[in-house]
Amino acid sequence: MRRVKRRGGRCRGHGYGSDCAWQRWGGSIRIPASCCGVYGLKPSRGLVPYGPQRGEGWGGLAVDGVLTRTVRDTAAALDGIAGIELGQPYAAPERPESFLARLDLPFERPLRVALWSEAWEGIEIAPDCQSAVLQAGRLLAGLGHEVQPAPPPPLKYAAFIGAIIDVMSASVALTVNGFLRQKPGADLSALLEPAILDAYHRGCHLGAEAYALAITRFHGLGRLMAAYMEQFDVVLTPTLTQLPAPLGSLSMDSDFESFRRKAGRYTAFLAILNASGQPAASLPLHWTPVGLPVGVQLIGRFGEEDTLLRLSAQLEMAAPWIERYRRFG
């Protein structure tokens, strides 16, 4: 569930050294959750151990999690997979003894919720995605929470995507070179899609300064979001800026930068949380008239999965989605 499956006949790679890192989109739990009408929670960095073979992926952007039909299933899964791993490079945030046991606890006060209905640098948001987030805002207000429309914090989004491109390219080079050490002379053009082959060449020529600058941009975004979250308990956004992408619309048959920048417009509200390390969840609260699922995202403060899960459970009770599965089951 954390990898995006390729469409076509060639191999995606063999995972040597970086666990197929290039297949992560920076939202690879929440993207399928939104497109498939299920619940997906991206945990805080460090909450779910990433080893034992590696300490991190994508310079700290990559995390593991689950896709489930209900919030309760995710809470139970998190009880099983969260924890501290000996020698892990990131400190695990403090967690309750059981997320599942706390799921139905009421909040001591109304939560302060920021509602984002615009993205950075003129990125267009589809009307159905706008409708989904506004509907979710009304649901939260109806539950007694304080919902306030607010702009996102100022961010040089194009530069952020550039940082992702650099870090991903370096990860591709690590993976492919690890493979080539075991199978020297392999025909990469027959094994890799054009965008990934281009990423490999980019990564092999990436300077140390560019990589360090990219990591610095990620860290800066973490500080930016932490300061922003001092005003709010939760942020509500569309999960994706557009409806589920038609097959082939995000093709890897071009150069890597073009692919990543197009994907970055589609997932404008997702990878920023991978950089900041915060938890975020996609909820299946909205469907189009023809039955396409449209997710909405809840963003929490670092280490506050408990808040997101409890709020998600409230929304699931107010607008149940399980009947949609039973109808086809």
Q: All domains of the chain, ordered by start, with CATH?
A: 21-153+223-246+264-328 (3.90.1300.10)
CA distance 170 to 266: 23
- Kindly report the pTM of this predicted structure: 0.90
- Longest CA–CA span in the chain (Å) reads 63
Helices then strands, each counted (H, E), the chain: 11, 7
Hey, how many other C-beta atoms are within 10 angstroms of the C-beta on 53? 9
Separation CA 131–CA 296 (nearest Å):
10
Please report, in tens digits, the pLDDT of each residue of the chain (329 residues total). 333 333 333 333 333 333 343 344 568 899 999 999 999 999 999 999 887 777 787 788 888 999 999 999 999 999 999 988 888 888 878 899 999 999 999 999 999 999 999 999 999 999 999 999 999 999 999 999 999 999 999 999 999 999 999 999 999 999 999 999 999 989 999 999 999 999 999 999 999 999 999 999 999 999 999 999 999 999 999 999 999 998 888 888 989 999 999 999 999 999 999 999 999 999 999 999 999 999 999 999 999 999 999 999 999 999 999 877 655 44
